[in-house]
Each structure stands twice: as C-alpha cells, then as structure tokens.
C-alpha cells in the first residue's frame, strides 16, 4: 500500500493569518507554489490560502499602486479557506486522492502527531499517474518483445 508520506512535500512554507495578500503573492512566486497553509503560533494549520483566493480578493481597478496599498491592508485570515481538511502521513494514498477529487481540493495538509509535516497536492498525483503510465508502457513493450 502506498501512503501519503511517499509523495508529500515535506518542506512546507506557511504564513500566519496576520500576513497580507502581498506576502502570500510574493511567497507563491518565489517558491513556485499555488497553496500556502496558514498556521497559528503553534504551527497548527488553521486555514489555506490559494492563488484562486488571492485572485478573488484582488481589486478590479487598473491602478497597480492602489492595489499594492490595498493588498497590504487585506489580511489572509479574512480571505483564507477556514474549514480545511487534512490527511495523515500514514493514510493510504488512494484515500487522499479520493478526498481531493470528491471535494475538488487542490491540496491537503499532511498531519502527524497533531503537527503539520507536509502537503500533498493535485500536482503530486499527476506525478504518480505519469509514473504509473510509464510503467504500463514499459510492460507493454516488454510483452511485445
């Protein structure tokens, strides 16, 4: 059985609810990520902020200077998704995939001993699918030869 800890990203970047939209945008660009867990002072996840959340919160005005000022005022705790679901690092990978699919999540925080230890994303599952397809292709070529 493949478990979540076999494909999860362990180096999770996080922010606090008191951080602003600009902080999240800059971190997403720097780290090339689309999801950031929002944690409390004990590093326990209390929410998730996604690129989609940020786009939704942005002003529709054309003035970049005005948007920059407004984004410094908008705290992540105001726009983050608060009812987050998570998986355990020891959970079967299939269960995590079904949870992502059923709820249309882009990611799930991974917990162990009540602590955030990783994150698993839809992108991680694409990697697994590609790997499986490559293995199937190799088997087909082996059977033909």
Task: Give the CATH number for residue 71.
Answer: 3.10.580.10
pLDDT digits (tens, 9 = 90+) for 90-132: 999 999 999 999 999 999 999 999 999 999 999 999 988 898 8
Give phi and psi for 9, each to the nearest 5: -90, 130
By residue range, what is the domain housing residue 138?
4-144
Locate all alpha helices (DSSP H) within the chain, ordered by sequence: 21-31, 51-57, 64-73, 76-79, 93-103, 122-144
**What is the number of domains present in the chain?**
1
- Kindly report the average pLDDT of the chain as a whole number: 88
Q: Are 89 and 118 within 8 A, CB to CB?
A: yes
- Residue ranges for the chain with pLDDT beneath 70: 59-71, 143-145
Backbone torsions φ then ψ of 97, nearest 5 degrees: -60, -40
Per DSSP bridges, beta strands 15-16 and 87-88 are: unpaired
Confidence at residue 62, expressed as pLDDT on a 0 to 100 scale: 43
């Amino acid at each position: 059985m493949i478990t979540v800890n076999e494909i999860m990203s362990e180096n999770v970047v996080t922010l606090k609810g008191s951080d602003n939209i600009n902080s999240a945008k800059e971190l997403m660009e720097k780290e090339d990520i689309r999801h950031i867990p929002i944690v409390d002072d004990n590093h326990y996840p209390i929410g998730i902020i996604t690129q989609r959340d940020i786009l939704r919160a942005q002003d529709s005005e054309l003035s970049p200077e005005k948007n920059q000022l407004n984004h410094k005022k908008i705290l992540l705790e105001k726009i983050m998704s608060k009812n987050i679901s998570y998986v355990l690092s020891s959970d079967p990978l299939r269960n995590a995939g079904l949870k992502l699919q059923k709820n249309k999540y882009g990611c799930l925080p991974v917990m162990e001993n009540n602590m955030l230890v990783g994150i698993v994303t839809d992108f991680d599952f694409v990697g697994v699918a590609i790997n499986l397809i490559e293995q199937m292709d190799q088997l087909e070529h082996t059977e033909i030869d």
